[in-house]
Structure 1
């Protein structure tokens, strides 16, 4: 399937390679897939260094208790 215009900007495609790709050379350079930056996964809130975790006792009132 060949396209007559660029799918990104709508300009007329001149080369056969661009028509086959469906996107012009300028838009292809602009939209080239870049590797996503590595963002470290945050640690869960219940693993804060130095924090003491108290056990939830059955009779202890909670936010959802009546």
Structure 2
């Protein structure tokens, strides 16, 4: 994810490394490399044990269509 401005101070990011990280070099040093909590992203085809996958049918009502 690229961000045009620093997530900590809001300044414009110039280097590609800073844009990829989302934090400028000064804020990165100041925060010790920690820019916030890291929330792991599950893989796209993850499986939760005990969860049943139901097939969707054409024009099946969803919560948003009710």
Give the TM-score normalised by the residue count of structure 1: 0.49
Greater C-alpha radius of gyration: 1
